[in-house]
């Protein structure tokens, strides 16, 4: 019995130490990481100054496995840019974040359904093969204007 107790005590201590080490490493990592390079985190207070969110909109890219980046900044209760036109057949990488609170970015009838958390960058790639209009809706409750938080993607020839 005594042996097992000792064993469990050391396992417990080791896990605790490991946990603390992970916490410290994660803390240091976040603190020192330049916000824009990793594309996983972004300082939500300075979204407008940080690439790519300083230029919301559709941007042609070259040498990647997609044709455009669509940069979206959500805030209560709208999306930037307001109007989006995408040439039919384009593969688009949607890169989005929120400036204030939790929002959604959903295109009903498609697979696009993201949560936009302040401080985090959400990404999703989609090829728009069909001409038409896609409604963008916020599907996370975000306050009094939630129900009106909508936008539109127009896929054009």
Nearer to ligand CUA, 50 or 76 (CB): 76
Rounded to whole angstroms, how far apart are CA atoms 151 and 149?
A: 7
Least distance in angstroms from the C-beta of 104 to ligand CUA: 6
Rounded to whole angstroms, the Cα distance separating 59 from 68 reads: 5
CB closer to ligand CUA out of 138 and 155:
138
Judged by beta carbon, residue 73 or residue 155, the one nearer ligand CUA is 73
Minimum gap (Å) between residue 80 Cβ and ligand CUA: 13
Query: Quick one: 33 or 150, whose CB is closer to ligand CUA?
Result: 150
Token pair, residue 112, equals 């696009």
In whole angstroms, the minimum distance from the beta carbon of 51 to ligand CUA comes to 23
Q: How far is residue 157's CA from residue 54's CA, in Å, rounded to a whole number?
A: 28
Min separation Cβ 147 and ligand CUA, Å? 8
Query: Which residue ranges make up the site for ligand CUA (CB under 6 A)?
Result: 77, 103, 138, 140-142, 146, 149
């Amino acid at each position: 019995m005594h042996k097992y107790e000792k064993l469990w005590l050391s396992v417990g201590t080791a896990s605790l130490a490991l946990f603390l080490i992970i916490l410290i490493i994660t803390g240091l990592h976040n603190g020192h990481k330049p916000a824009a390079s990793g594309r996983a985190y972004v300082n939500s207070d300075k979204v407008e100054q940080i690439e790519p969110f300083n230029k919301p909109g559709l941007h042609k890219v070259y040498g990647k496995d997609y044709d455009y980046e669509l940069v979206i900044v959500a805030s209560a209760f709208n999306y930037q840019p307001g109007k989006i036109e995408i040439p039919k057949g384009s593969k688009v990488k949607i890169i989005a974040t929120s400036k204030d609170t939790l929002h959604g970015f959903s295109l009903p009838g498609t697979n696009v359904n993201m949560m936009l958390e302040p401080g985090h960058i959400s990404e999703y790639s989609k090829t728009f093969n069909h001409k038409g209009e896609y409604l963008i809706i916020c599907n996370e409750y975000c306050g009094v204007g939630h129900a009106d938080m909508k936008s539109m993607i127009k896929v054009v020839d």
